[in-house]
Copies of this chain bind each other. A is one copy, B any other.
């Protein structure tokens, strides 16, 4: 094999970042992997939206079947967001013998078993590093280097918008509403911020982390979830007076065989490594029975950080295709 043929579902932020990396760093990738990545088709549903990067019009299509049914395509990369039609598209790609990479936490958390079982039944790879904590390679570590550990606890700052808001509230003494408005104006928060600020996005990511680290599926809707919209400057000051900082933490731990999990604002000791994770950065803090405590820190969102994780998965599949 000299090239791997890739179809992209979605050409928004993550799709654009992924396309940019695969084209800008194509020589580097080929020199490292021995195979050249070639994007052969891109599903672009809204052709009027402003694009991060430009692609040849010949690559663009509005018909998903041009990718899902295309016999030339080896790897389908799903970056549409939302549960449907993303899940159906991924299942169809797998059934057509295509490896699937996804950045879509909502679809994966909602349909984890169906997607992983369908991939296994069709003997294709299904990788989704970008779905949790953007560019931070934490899923690969859990499934790779740390596999000799029994996992004890996972704690994460899994949502950049809420971490940005809490950081500004803490550092500048502003109210939740003031910071949210500022974040929306700067594009760091959505016009409808519910999924972020109420912890739903973090719960999707925690569901995926639980599945990989503890081998159990917990639906996001079954994770007790509290967001940050009720946090006041007085709460933050009170925490500070106790030497603590408030962070929105997705947490799961095993105690006496019982798995506990939640997403909620937590007062961390100011010396805790997660307490120093500020602004839009994410981090995952993992305790293994053998390795002890580890932390993985980096950018949890953005076209290029998230695209880096998507491309890491694509390259893994390219390597495996050569074996």
Instruction: List residues of A whose CB falls within 8 A of some B CB.
Output: 17, 21-22, 25, 28-29, 32-33, 129, 135-137, 140-141, 144-150, 273, 276, 288-299, 302, 304-305, 307-309, 311-316, 323
Contact = CB atoms under 8 A, between A and B. Distances in A.
Given A140-B141, A291-B305, A25 B297 contact: no
Contacts of A276: 273, 276
Contact of A323 (B294, B296, B323): B323
A182 to B, nearest CB: 21
B273 A291 contact: no
B148 A137 contact: no
A298 B295 contact: yes
Question: Sorted from nearest, which 8 A-B pairs have the closest CB atoms?
Answer: A137-B145, A148-B311, A145-B312, A291-B308, A294-B298, A295-B297, A135-B291, A290-B308
A273 to B, nearest CB: 6
B298 A25 contact: no
Contacts of A136: 294
B308 A149 contact: yes
A5 B25 CA distance: 40
Nearest to A17: B290
Contacts of A314: 148
A214 to B, nearest CB: 12
A282 B302 CA distance: 27
Contacts of A148: 21-22, 25, 28-29, 307-308, 311-312, 314-315
A290 B21 contact: yes
A165 B17 CA distance: 43
Given A291-B298, A291-B309, A295-B296, 11 more contacts: A22-B148, A29-B147, A141-B141, A146-B308, A146-B312, A147-B312, A148-B311, A273-B276, A295-B297, A295-B298, A323-B323
Contacts of A29: 147-148
Contacts of A307: 148, 290
Contacts of A304: 290-292
A141 B146 CA distance: 12
Nearest to A312: B145
Contacts of A28: 148, 150
A144 B137 contact: yes
Nearest to A276: B276
A140 B32 CA distance: 14
A263 to B, nearest CB: 22
A150 to B, nearest CB: 6
A290 B306 CA distance: 9
Nearest to A129: B145
A137 B302 CA distance: 24
A8 B10 CA distance: 49
Contacts of A302: 292
16 contacts: A25-B289, A29-B148, A135-B294, A137-B144, A137-B146, A137-B294, A145-B309, A148-B308, A148-B314, A276-B276, A290-B308, A291-B308, A292-B298, A295-B295, A295-B296, A323-B323
